[in-house]
Structure 1
Amino acid sequence: MALVALAAALVVAFVIAPGRLAADGASSDLADHRHLVEALHSAFIEYWRSGDRDLSPDLARVVDYWFRYHVAKAVIAAVLLVVLVALTVLVWKAFLKAGGLGAVTRAALASAGVLAVMLVLLSLTAVMANIQGAKAPFSSLMPMLTEGATDQEFATTLDQARQQLADASRAGARTPPAIDVMIDDFSRYHAVMGVIATIAAASLLGTSVLLWKRFAGTASSDRRTRRVVGSFGVLSALLTLGLIVLAAANATTAADRGPALLRALNGGL
């Protein structure tokens, strides 16, 4: 029960705490999502007009806040992942020892185990996504550039950025410093996920091998253990394949960074 309570508390903290933890005296207003989007739009106009490669002070304030936000979420998600893995192991061990209990109890344990596995996968996804966001916070803000862009001045600025990027992608011409920074950061954003997905895939592959060894070493008469271990072996193998695909997709995007960034600024993936 202690692990369940801790996991519940961490889920609440994951939703509520990061904005407050990331805000300092100079960025307390950014904890409100609407203010964050408005500040980003205003800062992007300033940055685009400056013609400089270095982020403008206002944009740097937003990006720094978003970096701290992702760090906070990554740490909480990582702790939650550890707790949920421990909880999952305990639940499935209890299921394996539940042979003398009633069918309802066994079904409840199995359901709890499946739910725990799903939460583990969600937590792992959150850890990966927030590490990615912390390594490239500017690119992580890109979806907000196309969010609620009703201000005419900002819409014009964003259209200029899109046009410059489209022209450079077609003709290979020199791009403004701001576009160069955005392209580099966007490439890093996807390269980081490619690395993270590769590491996760390697870890799951090792886990899958261990599970199949355990499966092979389990007596055929112990059908419950063989079913559980075999199911986890299949799941880990499928997840490994999915992560390999994810790593390849992000590596491709990182290499094709200009057109990929243009798609992102147009509201695509």
Structure 2
Amino acid sequence: MALIAAFVIAPRTLAARTSGSGFDDEQDLAGSFRRAFAGYWSSGDREFSPGLERVVDHWFHYHVAKGVIATILLVVLVALGILLWKAFLGATGDETNGRAVLASAGVLVTVLALLSLAAVMANIQGATAPFASLLPMLGTGTGAGAGAGGQSPTDTFDQVRQRLADSLSTDGPSSPVLDVMISDFARYHVVMVVLSGIVAVLLIGLSVMSLRKAAGTRLSDRRTRRVLRSYGVLSAALALVLAVVAVANTTTAADPAPPLLALFEGGW
């Protein structure tokens, strides 16, 4: 519970300290990003402006902090889950209520572990491509302030969308800033392809190991066979889901411009 609370509360403070830049809340961060991006877009330069660099650096440290906490939480939950399931399997026949409590706790911890794994993957992705992970913020509250070049975030948002649409329809040259956006957007999805592939392979291995152990367990030990088979089937199903995620992200990474345009038209 302490780690879950830390995952929610601590990253913003840690990011402010490690990056040397602080924001009051996510709304302040989003507003700063929109204004900095408006100036960056107006400049036409590939290099980030100081204001945009400050926001991107903060976002990188934020994801690193969340990723580290989520990893620690995942390790703790896996260890706790192993202890709970061992206790469940070792409970005697006259401990029906105790077994039910242990089984419920084991299921809860398993679900939390899966959520922690998803958080680890998402934050590795965000830390690897922090600029791309900030882009959805451009579509929220675009009426705030003007950028360094005197251009409002709303105008910038519309111009980016129009430039993307033009580059796709005419296959013409794009701006240096747009090139950076597209390449970072592609990197963002490549990272998820790699992560999904690695985790899917590990889950397949876990599934095979669990099902083999279930097959080698005594027929009289139904409880152990049931738990092992459940984990084997769950691991295989999750591996299949991650394979679909990997394929979807591969498609996006191979041709990132149309999905990026979809993002600016209201999708992700």
- Return the TM-score normalized by structure 2: 0.95
Inter-partner Cα distance in structure 2 for 1:139 and 1:46: 17
Shift of 1:170: 1.3
| Residue 5 (structure 1) aligns with | none
Equivalent residues in 2 for 1:145-156, closer than 5 Å: 145-151=138-144, 153-156=152-155
Alpha-carbon offset, residue 169 of structure 1: 1.1
Could you tell me how far apart the structure 2 residues matched to 1:132 and 1:169 are? 26
Q: Are the aligned partners of 1:143 and 1:267 in contact in 2 as well (CA < 8 Å)?
A: no
Q: CA deviation at 1:99?
A: 2.6
Could you say which residue in structure 2 is the equivalent of 1:164?
163
Rounded to whole Å, the distance in 2 between the matches of 1:21 and 1:14 is: 11
Q: Which residues of 2 match residues 1-269 of structure 1 at below 5 A?
A: 8-24=1-17, 26-28=20-22, 30-151=23-144, 153-269=152-268
Q: Is the 8 A contact 2:31 2:141 kept in 1?
A: no
Distance 2:76 2:208 in 1: 23
Paired with 2:40 and 2:204, the residues of 1 have a C-alpha distance of 44
d(CA) in 2 for partners of 1:114, 1:267: 36
- 1:103 and 1:57 map into 2 onto residues whose CA distance is 63
Match of 2:15, as an amino acid?
Answer: A
- 1:267 partner SS: coil
Q: Any stretches of 5+ residues in structure 2 without a counterpart?
A: 146-151
Change (3 A) 1:185 1:223: same
Over residues 57-115 of structure 1, what are the superposed CA-to-partner deviations in whole Å (9 max), with x where a residue is unaligned?
A: 10011000000000000000001000000000100111101133432211111110110
1:26 Cα offset (Å): 4.3
Q: Which structure 1 residue ranges, 5 or more long, are not aligned? A: 1-7
Secondary structure, counterpart of 1:219 in structure 2:
coil
Could you list the per-position Cα deviations for residues 100-137 of structure 1 after superposition, in whole angstroms to 9, with x for gaps in the alignment?
Answer: 34322111111101101000000000000000000000
My pick for the range that moved more, 18-27 or 103-112, is 18-27
Distance change in 2, residues 1:195/1:213 (3 Å): same
Alpha-carbon distance, 1:43 to partner: 0.1
- How far apart in 2 are the matches of 1:240 and 1:216? 21
Instruction: Report sequence identity in percent.
Output: 57
| Alpha-carbon distance, 1:151 to partner | 3.5
How many residue pairs were aligned?
Answer: 261
State how far apart, in whole Å, the 1-side matches of 2:144 and 2:15 are.
27
How far apart are the structure 2 equivalents of 1:100 and 1:31? Answer: 56
Equivalent residue letter for 2:173 = R
Instruction: State whether residues 19 and 31 of structure 1, in contact with CA within 8 Å, keep that contact through their aligned partners in structure 2.
Output: no
Normalised to the residue count of structure 1, the TM-score between the two structures is: 0.94
Supply the distance in 2 between the matched residues of 1:92 and 1:201 (Cα, whole angstroms).
23
- In the TM superposition, what is the alpha-carbon distance from 1:266 to its structure 2 partner? 2.1
What is the DSSP-based 3-state SS (H/G/I as helix, E as strand, rest coil) of the residue aligned with 2:46? coil
Is contact 1:204–1:236 with CA below 8 Å preserved after alignment?
Answer: yes
